[in-house]
Amino acid sequence: MTAQFKTHTDSATRLPRSVVVPRQGRRIVAKGMALKLLRRLSPDAAGKVVDNLFFSPRRLPLPIPYEYLLDEATSYTQLQYGAYVIPVYSWGDGPVVMMVHGWSGGGIQFGAFVKPLVKAGYRVVVFDAPAHGRAQGSQTNLYDMADVIYKVAASVGPVEAMITHSLGSLAAARVVVDGVRVQHLVMLAPPRDLDSVVTCFGAALGLPAAMVSEQRRRMEQKFGLDVWRQFSFDELAPNLATHGLVVFDSDDESVPASHSGRVHRKWPGSEKLQTEGLGHHELLSHPFVVERVHNTLATAA
């Protein structure tokens, strides 16, 4: 059944301080309980398991919708990123619209956008980040994702627009602020910052605050204390000197609507589209969202 939804384009309201936690499946609850038990026996071992889980995305579940489009791609190339091969697909000719998927996602999740944008005269480019989709690897992080976005953008020439989803929005914003020029930037369900992602990760597993704090310390040791500022829309959004649209859903259980709303508020001149009933992933395929994004690119051209 098609989700029923409403849209809102007014300004974002005051943000609540609480963190909204996604529904917990039995496997997630079991992992959390096992980690808490392990922590009693060996805090260091438990911390290492949490760290491994945090940087290990899941592959898209099979069957993958729109996968047939990969066989119809106008071009297919492979980029080398360290030891990993990154697949890049594109359809059509014209100004480049580059898609950036989120954590545990893949480029083909943007399949609903391909034919409408190609018909409108764009070249649509998708890729899989390390440890995602058909790319090699088992672990990755936001710095890797940002590096790959930069590498793909450089390989396809001038990028007219980027359409991003979830955590991929943070990586894309980092790249744009650091110098990759785009005319239009559309973000679907962007989280407000990496810090809140860590908080939601710990909450989903039911981890005690001490274990979440330990994960933060491990990340600071790995990437430096600046990692939180590097991937925060409070820092990034005011420096996004490009036309923007933030799309998010009131019923999103992965990224709270208030977090995405904050991104809109911090991004000068950005537009906002808020839906109800689509959740986190249906934003990627619902006809209304696809049409609105297409119209936004056409109007702003």
Burial class (CB in 10 A: 0-12, 13-18, 19+), 90: buried
pLDDT in tens, 83-135: 999 999 999 999 999 999 999 999 999 999 999 999 999 999 999 999 999 99
CB 247 within 8 A of CB 293: yes
pLDDT tier for residue 300 given thresholds of 50, 70 and 90:
low
Reply yes or no on whether the pLDDT at 15 is more than 70: no
Closest CA to 123 of 155, 159, 69: 159
Which of the given ranges, 38-47, 54-63, 105-114, has the highest pLDDT on average?
A: 105-114
Read off the pLDDT of residues 248-294 as tens digits, 9 standing for 90 and up.
999 999 999 999 999 999 999 899 999 999 999 999 999 999 999 99
Helix (H, G, I), strand (E, B) or coil at 185: strand
pLDDT confidence tier of residue 43, bands split at 50, 70 and 90: confident
Domains along the chain with CATH numbers: 81-193+231-301 (3.40.50.1820), 197-229 (no CATH)
Q: What are the C-alpha distances in Å from 99 to residues 104, 112, 278?
A: 15, 12, 20
Q: What is the pLDDT of residue 132?
A: 97
Give the per-residue pLDDT at 242: 92
- Calpha distance 301→295 (Å, rounded): 10
Question: How confident is residue 46, by pLDDT bands cut at 50, 70 and 90?
Answer: confident
What is the C-alpha end-to-end distance of the chain, expressed in Å? 34
